[in-house]
Amino acid sequence: MSDQKFTDSVIEAMGPGTNPRMKEVLTSLIQHIHDFARDVNLTIPEWQMGMEFINQIGQMSDDKRSESILVSDVLGLESLVDSLTYDTLESTDQKFTPSAIIGPFYREGSPHYKNGETIIQQEVGGEKCYVSGKVTDAYGDPLSGATIEVWHTAPNGLYEQQDENQVEYNLRGTFTSDENGDYSFICLKPTAYPIPYDGPAGQLLQIMERHPYRPSHIHWMVSKPGYRTLVTQIYDAQDPYTKNDSTFCVKGDLIVDFLPAKESLAKEKNVSCTLDYNIALQTTEDFEKAKSKKTSN
């Protein structure tokens, strides 16, 4: 049973009605899993350990935390999948905002605010920041009516659903670009933090003698009908973890400078720093063309 014939028999057990794409994916998955077991001469105790590890991932996950995504992130898988998509976009001559992983702590239904309002529902310390910019298409033309979702941790490194002392949806918000494509909001200047170390993802990091820290960042999800939804993150240029991110997802174009707020803005908005950040989206049609071109090549 250790030879290729056995693997072939498992693959060939799939029925004729199997979805073609699923058959392609599962054929490759089965082949690689079997090759992995042969390559490392996997033992029964090691296999049992792996099965228990998968069970623990499920036990640690709920509607507020996805341990499976966290494990995927520390292994670099989500960043790799994101890069495969980004490489498709990069094959065009358009100017667009790079993507990044969504991470395990996104929540739907964040409160909708007017431009210029704050996502800080509860004072948790930290440095307040005024963020503003413009949403455009890949050619620089402004896009009105784009939905902008943002979220980040409190200074203690916890997202609100991790922290019983934070109110629901604290430091999360949804905004809409105006007729000129402009948006703005007040948040906290992000801080570096360790990913949760109390589950399977933390066990993996300890086994591999790796640190758990993520660089200071703000999550974004920007969408508009007819355009490819952008999921991304921006990182503080002053944070040393941009060079050593525990989830391997920092891209150079996503590193930004938070600047001291001018005196007039600081007084008006009660902030100490600012960020000017423009976002460029690609149409769904252009993305599909780029994907088809890459596949044909």
Out of 101-105, 183-187, 189-193, 240-244, pick the least confident.
101-105
pLDDT at 151 over 70: yes
**In 3D, which of 175, 172, 171, 119 has the Cα closest to residue 147?**
175
Across 240-244, average pLDDT: 96
Q: Average pLDDT, whole number, for the chain?
A: 94
Q: What is the pLDDT of residue 297?
A: 60
Domain 79-295, CATH class in plain words: mainly beta
Please return the burial class of 105, using the count of CB atoms within 10 Å of its CB with bins 0-12, 13-18 and 19+. Answer: buried
Which residue did the predictor score with more confidence, 217 or 292?
217
CA distance 137 to 283: 8
Q: What is the pLDDT of residue 93?
A: 67
Position 96: which residue type?
F
Count how many Cα atoms sit within 13 Å of the Cα of residue 46 in the half-sphere of its side chain: 7
Cβ neighbours of residue 86 under 8 Å, at least 6 residues apart? 98, 99, 251
CA distance 40 to 57: 23
The one-character DSSP state at 198 is S
Instruction: Express as a percent the part of the chain with pLDDT over 90.
Output: 85
pLDDT at 86 over 60: yes
Across 173-186, average pLDDT: 99
CA distance 97 to 282: 9
pLDDT at 191 over 90: yes
Q: In the beta sheet, which residues pair with residue 221?
A: 149, 231
Out of 79-88, 106-115, 143-152, pick the least confident.
79-88
pLDDT at 163 over 60: yes
Phi and psi at residue 128, to the nearest 5°: -75, 140
pLDDT at 89 over 90: no
What's the token pair of residue 29? 């998955």
Query: Domain residues of the chain, as ranges?
Result: 4-64, 79-295
Which residue did the predictor score with more confidence, 64 or 58?
58
Q: What is the pLDDT of residue 1?
A: 65
Which residue did the predictor score with more confidence, 2 or 55?
55
Cβ neighbours of residue 206 under 8 Å, at least 6 residues apart? 197
Instruction: Give per-residue pLDDT as tens, 13-31.
Output: 999 999 999 999 999 999 9
What's the token pair of residue 54? 């998968």
Phi and psi at residue 133, to the nearest 5°: 175, -165
Q: What is the pLDDT of residue 34?
A: 97
pTM for the full predicted model: 0.88
Across 271-287, average pLDDT: 94
